[in-house]
Amino acid sequence: MKAPDFDYARPSSLQEALALLAAGEGGAQPLAGGQSLMPMLNFRISTPEMLVDLSGLPELRGLEQTPQGLRIGAMTRYCELEAFPDLAKIQPLVAAALPHIAHDAIRNRGTIGGSVALADPAAEMPAILLALGAVISLDGPNGPRDVAADDYFLGYYETACEPDELITSILLPKIEPGDSFGFHELVQRHGDYAMAGVAIRSSGIAPLAGLRIGFFGVADRALRVTALEDALNGTDGTDIAGALSHLSEIDFQGDTKITAETRAHYAGVALKRALKEMLT
Amino acid sequence: MSKTANITLKINGEDITATVPVRLNLVDFLRHDVGLTGSHVGCEHGVCGACTVEVNGDAVRGCLMLAVQADGTEVTTVEGLSDSGRSAALIRSFTARNALQCGFCTPGMLASALSYIDAGGAADKAAIREHISGNYCRCTGYQSIVEAICDVITENATTEEAGA
Amino acid sequence: MTGPAMIFDKPNSYIGQPTPRADAARLLAGRGRFVDDLQLPRMVHAAFYRSPYAHAKINGIDVTEARAAPGVVAVYTGAELSKHVTPYVGVLSHLAGLRSAPQHPLAVDAARWQGEPLVMVIAQTRAQAEDACELIDPDLEELPAVVDSETALDAETPVLHSEFDSNLAWERTVDVGDIDSAFAAPGVTVVERQFRFGRHTGVTLESRGTVCDYDPSEEQLTVYYSGQAPHMMQVIYSKHLGIAEENVRVISNDVGGSFGIKIHTYGDEIAAGVAAKLLNRPVKFIADRLESFMTDIHARDHVVTAKMGISEQGTIVGIDFDDLTGIGPFSMYPRTSAIECNQVLNLTGAPYAMENYRAKGRVVFQNKTLMCQYRAVGHPIAMAIADCLLEDCARSIGMDPVDVRRKNLMADDSYPRNSTSGMKLDDLSHQKALEKLTEIMDYKGLRDDQEAKRKAGVYRGIGFVSMVEVTNPSPMFYGIGGAPIASQDGATVRLDAGGALHISSSITEQGQGTNAILGQIAAGVFGVDIERVKVSTGDTKTVPYGGGTWASRGAGIGGEAMLQAAHALKEQVLEVAGVLLQTPVEALDIKNGCVVDAGTDNERMPLADLARTVYYRGNELPSDLKPELIATRHYRVSDFPFVFTNGAMAAHVEVDIETGFVKVLHFWAVEDCGRVINPMLVDEQVRGGVVQGIGGALYEECLYSPEGQLMNATMADYIVPMAAEMPEITVAHIETPTKTSVLGAKGAGEAGTGGAPAAIMNAVNDALSPLGKSIWQMPMTPERVLQVINRN
Ligand SMILES: Cc1cc2nc3c(=O)[nH]c(=O)nc-3n(C[C@H](O)[C@H](O)[C@H](O)COP(=O)(O)OP(=O)(O)OC[C@H]3O[C@@H](n4cnc5c(N)ncnc54)[C@H](O)[C@@H]3O)c2cc1C
Ligand code: FES
Ligand code: FES
């Protein structure tokens, strides 16, 4: 299928872009790497009146290590992040997850901002943001604002970013000595969206402490289950059966590949395996 | 702001200027407007990899990019890879291993294979399989493709050693 | 006639060599010629408005707005189009009792599956045609849909076609021996299982498509076709569009995979031909992926309840099964949708000697995409029934799966003979293939590894299949039933003035390497360098008349015709050479493009000299010598309905019992396809087939909602095998040439797809056996495996 007809603009400043979005009154849609938006256009699922191409905005560029952490401009492509010097030391969780996101050719165009804006429930990045306690910077008609990852993912493809706002950057807080990370996802084929997955940060192992566990591919959005984290904090992470009962807080979703019940089971398996890898 | 746009880009080393509907994707533009029919279309949703081409040196999906987004870029298609000789070693090894049947996936496979080889990828079959896992081939069973890519890497290593 | 030995043992014979394909270079340089590459003057584009419902009454369709949309050239509803094209019915007389209703290219009164084309829009661009489709305003009345094949015959289920009393399309029973008594005999263990084979589809990377061009000045329709059977399509366009057959030219250039998908009559492609004729200009239609999933034929979709009985000593006493298959709302034209079920009835248990066999097949209508012949028609079902039950039986009597096969496989020296179902069999090598298989896979080593791994909580399994593959079909397949499908193929070999051969054949190329093997055969048999052979296929205007490439018939039938033609031309050329060189014909031969003295290979005359003399200086020839430097031969299989290939395969898998994920660690295939013309091409055919078989076994399924909506019609949701998860596949050969031809080649293209699913299922069940669990449903998705593990 061919994309429906639309207008196209490539603004050269953030202000210009925001003005176009505002003027579009919901009919204008940002275009970042297009790796999610283009398939939707090609299926005519998405029928915007105008695409606002973000590639010309200097304000959305940049990838740098700051005293607060790694600041990722919204238009940073996965491949640029992958190539960032010492990524595995600076942000080991991100480095571990990137190879699992789609394929090379898609990571060559897909952006971090696009993934976070879309908030696909099975995408890796949102769960990583939750695990790391990231901060998402937005800008819009009412000026810039920062939203904590915990307050950002609201529902099925629904986020705190309003239609007339743009994500400008994402801050991944600096990791502390003693932090440890876990990542595991269940996929039938390499690069697929996960059937269930977890991204974990802990400020210690044996015992686990200050856990933040982002689940993805389980429900309507990436999410944390704080009761489960609390149950694991202070333990050595080997006996998790009790903690797993808190998974019942998640409203697991079924799809054509698996039922909600199996998803619930897979979420537990992914958690167990991620913890096991962390602890060995 | 308009439903058509003028674009100027370099395709396989040639300067091209065109007026395109903004909704036209890159691979359709290359195939039907520029006449470079070597790149193929298998799904239009980014999954099959048949449309993979190089934009500014990166392998990308031609169906997931608008032609207007390619304004100002350098695009290389399978025709360009062949004309410049960049795919010569792969062409030899694909032929020797019969790493193609219908040949429909082949242009995308070559682009993906080249991005692996150019990035210094190892002659490791599992790693090669993972790298080309975004390129669908219904005919071959993949083994011959993996072997053909592996052969080129091994061959390059031998020539480098001999040269060193 | 020169004996076979002479043909194959010649020093410069290419037969049996891993000669690289000549057309590879073109495809690797991006110079393929696929249908969508074609750009003709004045060409317009078709898009279709398709039924959103599985079943709906068409009260009317308002296309006024669509007609007025930018770029639109024409809009046709089903009612309008039906004035210019006749409907078709997919029945064959030899499938007694098979019935189907008339089918229109665009539905007229009712839509019967989601995706059925209702309106065709022709516009300047495809995008504009799609834009206009969105403006179509149909008045459709949704009707209850028949979705589940298992309830399709129930009294309360609505009947799809008012002219019939039920949704039954066809049924057949085979009953040999006395199965009930055999099962009741003392010491016989009977196992019973219900198998489910999910619907899947071909997912050719190049989707279906056509460019149809009509030239009124010559009343000529030219159809550029991505498919396997140009002459069949010629008849179909001619018959239903009312154009003389000779005025329809079907051209099939490069085809991006077919596997049986592109060999049927699709309404959208026929409609494109009608539009070309009405508009007097070229019309292009290229199916997008969504259209492919919704309208390319689907296959499998069988529910089989099956029993096998085995004696204490491990002898199979018989098989008894009931196969139910849902084929969509119509039987596909012209090959019909009963063939798969018929194959299951014919092929189940064919490798094994047994006395009792009862098989019942029922084919039912339903509101889903049409089902028809896809690669390895019926084979995965037939092989799984027999071989998965056999390993189940072996487990229940404590016998090794290889031993139980050794005991029951027909002896290699027992042919010719019939299968229990009555198929004529000859030149098979099941026992040899199995022995070779166990050697190359190191069976003992794998079993030891399995033991050790089990102790560590790792569940690995080894599964086998012994199989037959139907190849080289004779007229008994389709022709006898009245289908316009040639069962013979023709080949022409022409010596040109420069000494090169131009060859053409009615078989077609979809990547198998058809053109390459034709070249190998002609070059080798005639005696020229393969570089000097140019091949044409796929154009009804220029090639001999024949069936095309399907049912693994290319090498066996088309190859034999080429062998005969090359041989005939050689005799003709040597006759001229004998006169020119004043030498007895028996003392001459052709090698490397030269007429030589037989025996010494002393060069007497380059072929170019001979040809130039004939073509340019005929005055130098005696007046009674009238040389023909061209020969055509046709070949069909006559004494057998088919020629069977056989094989033995094994899979090694690991099942993650916590998640149900199955990883295929390695796969082995031993194949006896008779004479191997090009081992490199055959090995890749087998590997590609195995991977498709793994797809069917583990991943692929067209999933429908209870309302008949196809829920996974994208490549992200319908998952196909990709490189990272596929195993290395070791291929080995046994060569038992078929006696039905000089060439001795049988087909090889479908074995992997036909055999791999059973081997994988057996391997999974072997892995699960310590848990006392087993799975009988394909695809064996992680969730399904997990469910059987968790079932009490
Ligand atoms: C075959 C395939 C496999 C994939 N597999 C995975 C996978 O395994 N895991 C995974 O996570 N992803 C996967 N993806 C999706 C991929 O990661 C996308 O690139 C990503 O989700 C979106 O990034 P993008 O830059 O391409 O965004 P776009 O597609 O351009 O945009 C996505 C959405 O975000 C909006 N948007 C973009 N940028 C901004 C911004 N700065 N501010 C506000 N709104 C914005 C757009 O309007 C649009 O609605 C896959 C994609 C494909 C095609
Ligand atoms: S056509 Fe672009 S990935 Fe399939
Ligand atoms: S060779 Fe046909 S799809 Fe790869």
Q: Where are the alpha helices (DSSP H) in C169-266?
A: 179-184, 230-241
Residue B111 beta carbon below 6 angstroms from any ligand 2 atom: no
Top CATH class of C4-31+488-635 equals alpha beta
pLDDT grade, residue C679 (50/70/90)?
Answer: very high
Q: What percent of chain C has pLDDT over 90?
A: 92
Query: C4 pLDDT exceeds 60?
Result: no
Q: Which of A3, A51, A105 sits opposite B134 (nearest CB)?
A: A105
pLDDT above 70 (res C148)? yes
Band of pLDDT at residue C479, cut at 50, 70 and 90: confident
- Distance to chain C for B148, nearest Cα, Å: 13
Tens digits of residue pLDDT in C391-406: 999 999 999 999 999 9
pLDDT higher than threshold 50 for residue A44: yes
Are A162 and A186 part of one and the same domain? Answer: no
Residue pair B42/B110 in contact by the 8 Å Cβ criterion? no
Domains identified in chain A, total number: 3
Residues C65, C132: Cα–Cα separation, whole Å = 8
Length of chain B (residues): 164
Whether residue A2 is contained in a domain is answered as no
**pLDDT tens string C750-774:** 899 999 999 999 999 999 999 999 9
Nearest residue of A to residue C292, measured between CA atoms = A1
| Together in a domain, A168 and A184 | no
Query: Tokens standing for B92?
Result: 């030899």
| Residues A90 and A150 occupy one common structural domain | yes
The pLDDT score that the predictor gives to residue C472 is: 82
State the pLDDT at residue C477.
76
Stretch(es) of chain C classified as CATH 3.90.1170.50: 35-143+205-258+262-295
Same structural domain for residues A167 and A235? no
> From the CA of A38, how far away is ligand 1's center (Å)?
9
| Structural contact between residues C199 and C780, judged by C-beta atoms closer than 8 angstroms | no
- pLDDT of res. C792: 79
Residue A199 domain-assigned? yes
ipTM of the complex: 0.97
Q: The CATH number of the domain where A227 resides is what?
A: 3.30.390.50
Per CB-CB distance under 8 Å, the chain A contacts of C134 are 4, 44
Cβ of B63 closer than 6 Å to ligand 2, yes or no, is yes
Ligand 1 pocket, CB under 6 A:
A 29-37, 39, 54, 74, 101-102, 106, 110-111, 113-115, 117-118, 120, 123-125, 161, 166-167, 191-193; B 46-47
Which ligand places an atom closest to the C-alpha of A18? 1
- Helix ranges (DSSP H) in C413-556: 430-441, 443-455, 514-526
Of A114, A145, A173, the position where a domain reaches its end is A173
Express each pLDDT in C271-303 by its tens digit.
999 999 999 999 999 999 999 999 999 999 999
Helix axis angle, C430-441 to C443-455, nearest 10°: 50
Task: Tell me, yes or no, whether A98 lies in a domain.
Answer: yes
A254 in the same domain as A163: no
User: Percent of chain C at pLDDT above 70?
Assistant: 98
From C757's Cα to the closest Cα of chain B, the distance in A is 15
pLDDT of residue C692: 97
Distance between CA atoms of residues A65 and A61, nearest Å: 14
A43:B134 CB<8 A: no
Residue C475: name the closest of C483, C466, C464, C467 by CA.
C483
- Is the pLDDT reported for residue C6 higher than 70? no
The CA B46 to ligand 2 mean position distance, Å, reads 4
Q: Which ligand sits nearest to residue B48's alpha carbon?
A: 2
Report CB contact under 8 Å: C703, A265: no
Q: Which residues of A touch C711 (CB under 8 A)?
A: 256
Q: What is the CATH number of domain C35-143+205-258+262-295?
A: 3.90.1170.50
Please state the φ and ψ torsions of residue C516, each to the nearest 5 degrees. -65, -45
Full DSSP string of B15-66: EEEEEEETT-BHHHIIIIIS--TTS--S-SSSSS-TTEEEETTEEEEGGGSB
Q: What was the pLDDT predicted at C9?
A: 61
Q: Which of A107, A139, A173 is the last residue of a domain?
A: A173
Contact C205/B137, CB-based, under 8 Å? Answer: yes
Answer whether B46 contacts ligand 2 (Cβ < 6 A). yes
Residue of C nearest to A43 (CA): C290
Ligand 1 pocket: which of A106, A165, A186, A257 to mutate (most atoms within 8 A of CB): A106
pLDDT at site A167: 98
According to the 3-state scheme, what is the secondary structure of chain A?
CCCCCCEEECCCCHHHHHHHHHHHCCCEEEECCCCCHHHHHHCCCCCCCEEEEHHHCHHHCCEEECCCEEEEECCCEHHHHHCCCCHHHHCHHHHHHHHHCCCHHHHCCCEHHHHHHHCCCCCHHHHHHHHHCCEEEEECCCCCEEEEHHHHEEECCEECCCCCCEEEEEEEECCCCCCEEEEEEECCCCCCCCCEEEEEEECCCCCCCCCEEEEECCCCCCECCHHHHHHHCCCCCCCCHHHHHHHHHCCCCCCCCCCHHHHHHHHHHHHHHHHHHHHC
CB atoms within 10 A of CB C273: 29
Residues A234 and A149 in one domain: no
Residue C1, pLDDT above cutoff 70: no
**Residue A266: inside a domain, yes or no?**
yes
Find, among C435, C406, C403, C408, the residue nearest to C419 by Cα.
C408
Question: C693: which chain B residues are within 8 Å (Cβ-Cβ)?
Answer: none
Whether C7 has a pLDDT exceeding 80, the answer reads no
Task: Say how far apart CA A171 and CA A147 lie, in whole Å.
Answer: 10
**Closest residue of chain A to C662, computed from CA coordinates:** A188
Which pair of tokens denotes residue A30? 């940002």
Range of the domain at A49: 7-53
User: What is the share, in percent, of chain B residues with pLDDT greater than 90?
Assistant: 95
Cα–Cα distance between A255 and C495 in angstroms, integer? 62
Question: Which domains does chain B carry?
Answer: 4-81 (3.10.20.30), 85-163 (1.10.150.120)
The minimum CA-CA distance between A262 and chain C, rounded to whole Å, is 7
Q: Where in chain C is the domain with CATH 3.30.365.10?
A: 4-31+488-635, 376-471+642-790
Max CA pair span of chain A: 57
| Cβ contact A51–B22 (<8 Å) | yes
Q: In one letter, which amino acid is B95? A: T
Q: Which ligand 3 atom lies nearest to the CA of residue C256?
A: 2
Classify residue A239: in a domain, yes or no: yes
Residue C481 has a pLDDT of 84
A18 located within any domain:
yes
pLDDT value of position A222: 98
Ligand 3 site, CB within 6 A: B 100-105, 137-140; C 205, 257, 511
Q: In chain B, which residues have pLDDT < 70?
A: 1-2, 163-164
* CATH number of the domain to which A29 belongs: 3.30.43.10
Residues of A in contact with B65 (CB under 8 A): 34, 38, 109
Domain C376-471+642-790 has CATH 3.30.365.10: yes
In the predicted structure, residue A206 carries a pLDDT above the cut 90: no
Q: Looking at the domain assignment, is residue A123 inside a domain?
A: yes
Determine which helix (DSSP H) or strand (DSSP E) holds C465, and give its type and residue range: strand C459-471
Decide if B133 and C724 are in contact by the 8 Å CB cutoff: yes
Using alpha carbons, select from C308, C237, C302, C244 the residue that is nearest to residue C276: C237
C partners (3+ CB pairs within 8 A) are A, B
Q: Quick check: is A1 in a domain?
A: no
C-chain CB neighbours of B141 within 8 Å are 684, 687-691, 726, 729, 752
In B, minimum Cα distance to A55 occurs at B69
- CA A221 – ligand 3 centroid, Å: 37
**Please, which pLDDT band fits residue C95 given cuts at 50, 70 and 90?**
very high
The residue-averaged pLDDT of C440-452 equals 98
Q: Give the Å distances, CA to CA, from A255 to C54, C523, C708.
A: 21, 56, 16
Determine the length of chain A.
Answer: 280
C582-635 pLDDT, tens digit each = 999 999 999 999 999 999 999 999 999 999 999 999 999 999 999 999 999 999
> Which of C511, C722, C729 faces B139 most closely, judged by CB atoms?
C511
Q: Are A118 and A194 members of one domain? A: no
A89 & A159 share domain: yes
A138 shares its domain with A206: no
Residue C32 CA: which ligand is closest?
3
Q: What is the pTM of this model?
A: 0.97
Taking CB atoms and an 8 Å cutoff, what residues of chain C touch A262? Answer: 782-783, 786
Direct distance between the N- and C-terminal alpha carbons of chain A, in angstroms, rounded to an integer: 49
